[in-house]
Structures are given as C-alpha cells and as structure tokens.
Amino acid sequence: MLETQYHDANLQPAESNHAATFPVVRAIDVGFGHVKLSLRKGADVGYANFPSMAIPADGSAVRALGTRRRDTFDVPVRGALYEVGRDVALAHAGGNFGRDVTDEFYRGAIYEALTRGALRYMHEAGDSQIDILVLGLPVNQYNDAKRRDYLRSTFEGSIDVGGGKSMFIKRVIVQAQPVGGYAAIDEHLDELNGVIAATGGALKPLPSGEALEDLAVLMVDPGEHTLDWLLVQEGVINPRASGAASDAGRHRVVRAVQDALSAQVGRPLGPSVMPRINDALRLGTPVKLSGVAHDLRQFEPVVVSVIEDSINRMVDGLRDAHEIIDLIVLVGGHPEHYRDLLAKRFPAIPVFVLPEAVYANVRGFQMIGEAEAATADLRH
C-alpha cells in the first residue's frame, strides 16, 4: 500500500543516501501541523509526512463506502481507537479538528496516536523492530527533563500499532527539534555558500562543513504552534539564548486570516474551515466557502504582521545575542515569509532555508541516530 503513496505530495519520501541496514534507526518529528518520519525504502531510507490529525475512529459500515479505501490506520491509544494517516482529512467533520495545539500536546492522546501511526507506516514498509528511534520536542518542551523521560518510557518496548501488529523499540533518543536541522546543514554546503556569497556580509563561503563549528548559527523553526530557535556557538547550544514562543507559528497566522475573512463575509467560520485556509495559503489558491472563491492574497498584511510579531518575540528571547550571529538557518514547512523578514531585519547576516525544509529536522534526527548506532552496543 505504501508504494502508491510515494506519488502523493502529502506523503512523498525524499531520497537519502543512508542505508536501511542493521541496526535499524528511525526518526519521527511530530509537529503541530505534520508528522515527518523516516522509513525503509528498499535498501535505503526515505522520508514521508502526514497531517497531525487524529480522529476518533468511525467503526460504521458507511466508512467503507466509496471508490477507494482511504489511506489511514486505526491505532489504539488509552482504550480508544484513533484514525491517522495521509487521508485523515477525509474523516474530519464538524467541530472535531483532530488536533491538539497546546503546550501539553506531547503528553496527550493525539500525540501518542500520531506517533503510533508513524510507527505503523514504518511497519508497513518492512520493519517490526527498531534499535534506535529518535523523537523531537520543541526547545521549551525539551528543556523539561520530565517530558524527555516521558517520551522514552512511553515508546520504548513493544508498541501496539493497530491491525494486530506491534513494533518493538529498543531505545528512544529525544532531541530538540532544531538540532536535527543543524545536523543536516553540511549536506547542503554548496547551496549555503551561494547564499553567503550573495549576502555580501562579513561571513565568507565555508571551505567545509566542519567550519560551521567556528560560527554562531541561529536555527529557526517556525512550526504550527511554536516558533523555536536554537543558538549554536562553536558546535555547542547556548541555552540562555535558545527558546520557543507559544502561539507564534502557522496556527496563529491561519487563525488571523480566518478572523479577517470571517469579518469580510459577515459570519463566523468554524474550526473545520482552518485546514482549507491553511492549504489555500500554502498553495496560493483561493479558498472556497459556500460556493464562493475568496482570494487570500488580500490578507498578506495580516500574515506579515503576525510573523513580524513572532520574530520580535524571538529577538527579545535572544537576549542581545543577535549581535554575535554569523548565520541564520531556517527549517520547517513554511519558512519563506520568515526568511524574507529576517533578511530585511538583518541584511548582513546570511539567511539560509535548508532544501526540503519540511524534512530537515527528521533528516538530522536520522543522522544523529545513525551516528549513535555506530558507537553504541546494540547487541540483542
């Protein structure tokens, strides 16, 4: 089943040179908007994603009607079944948005259902055991040791992934999400040097990836709910200048546009409209409501205003460390506005968007896990 998904934009693996050999290393980056994961692709590793929506499963016969079976799985969590996967939006109706966009997301049933769904996709691709699984948390969540311990204790061991299948996970490693993007930078040195040369600031093109360890690099990850930033100085994270701003991500942008559109049409727009506005903003297409197409480009000032406020919160959180930054690197699913506004604010600092930015963190997690596997004793 999974092979057919590779041709869909919502679940399309990126190519990788990392081999799918023993020990088995996999990575999952559960964001508020999309779940990104690594999975077996022949002898290599591919990358895929699906929406961060988990809907209470519908066991009625009506669900089976239609010309094709929707690409989802029912996974068990805390005595209930949740439907997750690529086509989960087809299960979405009414006020049940199927998302959790709070700071308690990582302890909730929806997060657990999404992670189990990612493990089910890995199982379908050919793995029933994982030696090292790398999971990510936003910076502010990662700083809480209890949350890291919670993820390790929850996902180590035998995990029921639905359909009578289980995944055994030997070891879980938890990383701050932007660390994954930092690990992946030197895979794109030529593109990075092009941006450095075009910026014309004090930083000169780098002779090798190792030169990154001489720099102060600001990793910026605009997610669905949080804006994460991580300052890495000479290869070491500066915790005092790293952090996250809640309600400073894509969800706030979409909500602001929805409020503006609601005022224009003269009626309240419910939560089921949010995914359609989100998709329309990403694709640059009108959103259709009650048969009428609305051009969202008119709300560009609203979008810019929200993102500028989020960047202001990040700069405040840097505690004047922006004065020493050599390079800004963006990861995540929608970095373009952030790139433009950061380049305008700091014109002499190169602002680099990692290629396939949506997969940057999970790619880096995979690399981190493989490096750990190369040195760890994982014998059974």
Q: Where are the domains positioned within the chain? A: 2-177+360-375, 180-248+309-357, 250-301
Note the pLDDT of residue 97: 47
pLDDT tens digit string along 220-234?
A: 999 878 898 999 999
Q: Chain-wide mean pLDDT for the chain?
A: 87
Residue-level length of the chain:
380
DSSP state string for 110-172? HHHHHHHHHHHHHHHTT-SEESEEEEEE-HHHHT-HHHHHHHHHHHSEEEEEETTEEEEES-E
Label residues 111-129 b or e (16+ Cβ within 10 Å = b): bbbbbbbbbbbbbbbebee
> How would residue 38 be classed by pLDDT, with cut points 50, 70 and 90?
very high
Mean pLDDT of 103-129: 92
Q: Are 74 and 66 in contact (CB under 8 A)?
A: no
Angular region, 313: left φ>0, alpha ψ -120 to 50, beta rest: alpha
pLDDT of residue 377: 65
43-47, 77-81, 141-145, 306-310: which range is least confident on average? 141-145
pLDDT, one tens digit per residue, over 234-275 is 989 998 899 888 888 888 999 999 999 999 999 999 887 888
Separation CA 253–CA 302 (nearest Å): 8
Whole-angstrom Cα distance, residue 77 to residue 159? 10
**Strands 327-330 vs 216-222: parallel, antiparallel or unpaired:** parallel
The reported pLDDT for the residue numbered 275 is: 80
Using alpha carbons, list the distances in angstroms from residue 107 to 92, 129, 213, 218: 22, 24, 34, 28
Please tell me whether the overall predicted TM-score, pTM, comes out greater than 0.75 for this model: yes
Same fold, 2-177+360-375 and 180-248+309-357: yes
Mean pLDDT, rounded, for 19-24: 69
Q: Which residues contact 370 (CB under 8 A, 6 or more apart)?
A: 18, 25
Domain 180-248+309-357 has CATH 3.30.420.40: yes
Share of the chain above pLDDT 70, in %: 87
DSSP designation for 19: B
The dihedrals phi and psi of 125, each to the nearest 5 degrees, come to: -85, -5
Kindly tell me if the per-residue pLDDT of 59 is higher than 50.
yes
> Rounded to whole angstroms, how far apart are CA atoms 65 and 260?
37
Q: Is the domain defined by 2-177+360-375 classed in CATH 3.90.550.10?
A: no
Task: Tell me which amino acid residue 174 is.
Answer: V
Provide the pLDDT for residue 99.
Answer: 58
43 pLDDT band (50/70/90 cuts)?
Answer: confident
pLDDT category of residue 60 using cuts at 50, 70 and 90: low
Report the percentage of the chain scoring pLDDT > 90.
63
